[in-house]
Amino acid sequence: MTVLLEARTISKKFGGVQALKDVSLTIRRSEIYGLIGPNGAGKTTFFNVLTGLYARDAGEVMFAGKPLELGSPHQVAQAGIARTFQNIRLFGNMTALENVMVGRHVRTQAGVFGAILRTAAQRAEEAAIRRRAEELLHYVGIAHRAGDLARHLSYGDQRRLEIARALATEPQLLALDEPAAGMNATETAALRELVEGLRADGLTVLLIEHDVKLVMGLCDRVAVLDYGEKIAEDVPAVVRADPKVIEAYLGTSAH
């Protein structure tokens, strides 16, 4: 299997807190890669550095064979990494459809003049954006809510909408930050099906998750962060048996 993403010695400090310390990890194409660890371990910080929202102190990322420009989030999206947020961040006063249409921004180009003059190219692009957004809403299973404001959707649907918006950017790597948090069993099962479907369609998924059962069942490989350091990286069965992991994470939550 080829390597899609290779993070090398990523470090990030907030004042006195070392949120990430020399974190290196390798994600292969078409795998579901889990990132777990206790609260405050630095998982979300890793996402934020990876997607260019936080400036890193050190380290670099190779993505699809090229160094990833971590300076600006939109370039990361352009390069093919899309993400969702731990605390859902939607465009609340836009409809579900519009939210997904925004995701197409990075793959389209119509500008101000095209819009003002309604050129043929602009209208064709606009129609394509809409069509693709509708398809994606359908794919994540919330086509019936297309016209509703994002903030009026149920919690589970909002999570799905965020995934649809991320997919609209045509990513190679989809990074999900605790997508199952706050979901009930049915919603979690549906989410799991969705993520498996994504992988079947050739996408690579990076998954932060607290739900141990979900992670162990879904992921091909798992990395464990503890106090900003990677303490393990392997297939779930091995990670699960790792004494360091048990001490740091599973030991405290699985008794």
Partner 1 sequence: MNRKTIGFILVALALLALPLVLTQVGTAWVRIANLAILFVFLSLGLNIVVGMAGLLDLGYIAFYAVGAYVWALLASPHFGLHLPFWVILPVGALCACVAGAVLGAPTLRLRGDYLAIVTLGFGEIVRIFMNNLSAPFNITNGPKGITRIDGFSVGGLDFRATDTFLGIDFTGPAKYYYVLLLLLLGVIIVNLRLQKSRIGRAWVAIREDEVAAKAAGINTRNVKLLAFAMGASFGGIAGGMFAAMQGFVSPESFILHESIMVLAMVVLGGMGNVWGVIAGALLLSFVPEFLRYTVEPVQKALFGHLLVEPEVLRMLIFGAALVLTMRFRPAGLWPEARHQKEMGEMKEADA
Binding site for partner 1 (CB under 8 A): 51-53, 72-74, 77-78, 82-83, 85, 89-95, 98, 101-108, 110-112, 114-116, 118, 122, 125-126, 129, 149, 152, 165-166, 168-169
Query: Which of 214, 81, 97, 87 lies closest to 161 in space, CA to CA?
Result: 97
* DSSP class of 95: B
Relative to beta strand 221-226, strand 173-177 is unpaired
Site for ligand ATP in 28-47 (CB under 6 A): 37, 39-45
**What minimum distance in Å lies between the beta carbon of 131 and ligand ATP?**
36
The item of partner 1, ligand ATP, Mg ion, none sharing an interface with residue 204, based on CB under 5 to 8 Å by kind, is: none
Helices (H) and strands (E) in the chain, counts: 11, 10
Q: Where are the alpha helices (DSSP H) in 51-184?
A: 73-79, 96-103, 112-117, 120-140, 155-168
8 Å CB contact between 247 and 61: no
Beta bridge partners of 6: 26, 62
Site for ligand ATP in 82-141 (CB under 6 A): 86
**What minimum distance in Å lies between the beta carbon of 221 and partner 1?**
25
Nearer to ligand ATP, 88 or 140 (CB): 88
Residue with tokens 């050129």: 119
**E strand or H helix that includes residue 226:** strand 221-226
The region of 37-45, 60-68, 129-137, 195-203 touching Mg ion under the rule CB under 5 A is: 37-45
CA distance 68 to 105: 20
The region of 48-56, 83-91, 124-132, 239-247 touching Mg ion under the rule CB under 5 A is: 83-91
Query: Between 74 and 93, how does the x/- string for binding to ligand ATP read (CB under 6 A)?
Result: ------------x-------
Nearer to partner 1, 91 or 139 (CB): 91
Residues in contact with ligand ATP by CB under 6 A are 14, 17, 19, 37, 39-45, 86
